[in-house]
Amino acid sequence: MEVKEKESFFSAKNRKLITNPLNVDNPITVQVLGICSALAVTAKLKPAFVMAISLVVVTAFSNLIISMIRNGIPPRIRIIVQLTVVATLVILVDQFLKAYVFDVSRQLSVFVGLIITNCILMGRLEAFAMANKPWQSFLDGIGNGLGYSWILLALGFVRELFGSGTLWGFKVMPQAFFEMGYKNNGLIILPPMALILVGIIIWIQRSRTPGLIDKS
Amino acid sequence: MYSNSYVFRYAAIMVILVAAVLSAMAMLLKPAQDKNVAVLKMRSILAAANIEASAENAIELFDKYIVEEDALSPKGDVIGVYRNQKLEKGDLRPFEINLKEELYKQSKGNEYELPLYIADINGKKLYIFPLLGRGLWGQIYGNLALEADFNTVAGSMFGHDKETPGLGAEIQNTEFEVQFIGKKIFDGSGKFTSIKVLKGASKILTPEQLVHGVDAISGGTITSNGVSDMLQSNLTNYLEFIKKQNIN
């Protein structure tokens, strides 16, 4: 009889579940999922941060819940079950934001609701949580959420700094720069510029990890 | 293979569970959310009086500057007064009046009442009229502050629920709002003209007309028209009240 060796909570394999999505399996730059919200909410750092946290919470817990009940889900209605779980979590997050960070919730407006349709979620549920144990799924959710988060924060940082001269709402560009003729870049606040920035991140990433480039 | 009855039972139980969790959370978080909405309303009223309030000091500033809240009948009589944190007349604090419901009652031909806020900014009285209208995608709202002559605009504030960012949503920008300051809602003969939001108003209107017009948002024509209509229809409701004030 085969004795299954108990895997430690943070075995090398489990750690990979978190670190891979940060780089070689990043949801935005490699899987190219969740682009729309990444472009829409990153004009300022604060909404980007709240969006990032919200997404980490939703991916982690939807992965966990779906993985826990994966053996009982009738395959014919599995997408509906997944959607219900995701929608419930998103509504909870939305209600929490409305109650405790109202201003940010107003800025994010429709985008929190749109987490429901964020491709990262359904992608991870179908590809990972339906076939893996709860703990691994939870880690996978956190990993992918964080992978999404750091791109959002990087974009938010660059766009707020050069677009508005502030960070987290605080003025950081010295007044002396403006007196010398420096101007905030209006273009960088618009979504197309965010796409170009994502492109630059992808460029840097691929030139550092050639394994990501298609051979063909 | 799962049987049909299993699928049905599974779905039914899941839905009931989810509904229970969601309604429990909604009830738990309701007080905090309601407070946020009230604070936002205070901030937008103060914004029309050109007072910048943050979420933290809104209640304090509101109590300090908004010295009186009135409820008005359709005939322009004051039927409710709230002053010095006390309800002096009427049975509902005018701040609590839901303008949307009242305008709906009006459209059905029923009795309705309208709120009015009176601000005292360092001795200068401002009358703040709440507005509610329709933009391109959803409702738009605002507050218009008139000086004691009930004619000159002292400040304005506009907001929206889901207008397009960069286009219609620009009505909430200060650059759009400051245009209203100094405009008049009555012409020289005392006829109500409201304030029109027109494309290129500053170029096509004569100086006399320009007193009643501001520039529209480029790319936000329907929202701009919505602001025009909102001012026209909401201020019309207050004409009876204003008429009575001017006689006195």
- pLDDT, average across residues A94-114: 81
Using a CB-CB cut-off of 8 Å, the residues of chain A touching B162 are: 109-110
Q: Which of A201-205, B147-151, B242-246 has the lowest mean pLDDT?
A: B242-246
Q: Cβ separation of A95 and B6 shorter than 8 Å?
A: no
For A6, the 3-state DSSP assignment is: coil
Using a CB-CB cut-off of 8 Å, the residues of chain B touching A116 are: none
Give CA angle at A100 (B101, B63), nearest 5°: 60
Q: What is the pairing mode between strands B124-134 and A166-167?
A: unpaired
Residue B195 falls inside a structural domain: yes
Domains in chain B: how many in total? 1
> What is the secondary structure of B8-71 as a DSSP string?
HHHHHHHHHHHHHHHHHHHHHHHHHHHHHHHHHHHHHHHHHTT----TTTHHHHHHHHEEEEEE
A200 in reach of chain B (CB within 8 A): no
Residue B44 falls inside a structural domain: no
| pLDDT tens track for B162-182 | 777 667 888 888 889 999 999
Q: Cβ separation of A99 and B2 shorter than 8 Å?
A: no
Residue B148 falls inside a structural domain: yes
The boundaries of the domain holding residue B227 are 66-247
Most A CBs within 10 A among B1, B4, B25, B167, hence the mutation to make, goes to: B25
Closest CA to B69 of B84, B86, B56, B82: B82
Which of B14, B21, B55 is facing A81, going by the closest CB pair? B14
Q: Cβ separation of A95 and B33 shorter than 8 Å?
A: yes
CB under 8 Å to B238, separation ≥6 — which residues? Answer: B72, B76, B114, B116, B129
Q: Residue B231: what pLDDT?
A: 94
Using a CB-CB cut-off of 8 Å, the residues of chain A touching B36 are: 98-99, 102
Q: Taking a C-beta distance cutoff of 8 angstroms, is the pair A90, A112 a contact?
A: yes
Report which secondary-structure segment, H or E, holds B129.
strand B124-134
Question: Closest chain B residue to A103 measured between Cα atoms?
Answer: B55
Q: How far apart are CA A122 and CA A4, in angstroms?
A: 30
Q: Cβ separation of B162 and A190 shorter than 8 Å?
A: no
Q: Cβ separation of B40 and A102 shorter than 8 Å?
A: yes
The ipTM estimated for the assembled molecules is: 0.72
Question: Closest chain B residue to A189 measured between Cα atoms?
Answer: B166
Reported pTM:
0.74
Residue B10 falls inside a structural domain: no
User: What is the least distance, in Å, from the CA of A77 to any CA of chain B?
Assistant: 8
Burial tier of B181 (Cβ tally within 10 Å: 0-12, 13-18, 19+): middle
Q: How far apart are CA A41 and CA A52, in angstroms?
A: 10
Q: Which of A80-94, A165-179, B113-127, B139-153 has the lowest mean pLDDT?
A: A165-179
| pLDDT tens track for B25-84 | 999 999 999 999 999 999 999 999 998 888 888 889 999 999 999 999 988 888 889 988
Q: Which of A207-211, B56-60, B208-212, B237-241 has the lowest mean pLDDT?
A: A207-211
Residue B216 falls inside a structural domain: yes
A192 in reach of chain B (CB within 8 A): no
**Of all residues in chain A, what percent carry a pLDDT higher than 70?**
95
Residue B91 falls inside a structural domain: yes
Q: Cβ separation of A77 and B7 shorter than 8 Å?
A: yes
Question: Looking at the predicted structure, is the pLDDT value of residue A137 above 70?
Answer: yes
Question: Closest chain B residue to A110 measured between Cα atoms?
Answer: B162
Q: Taking a C-beta distance cutoff of 8 angstroms, is the pair A189, A159 a contact?
A: yes
Q: Residue A1: what pLDDT?
A: 45
Residues B27-58: b if buried by 16+ CB within 10 A, e if exposed: eebeeebeebeebbbbbbbbbbbbbebeeeeb
Residue B14 falls inside a structural domain: no
Averaged pLDDT score across all residues of chain B: 89
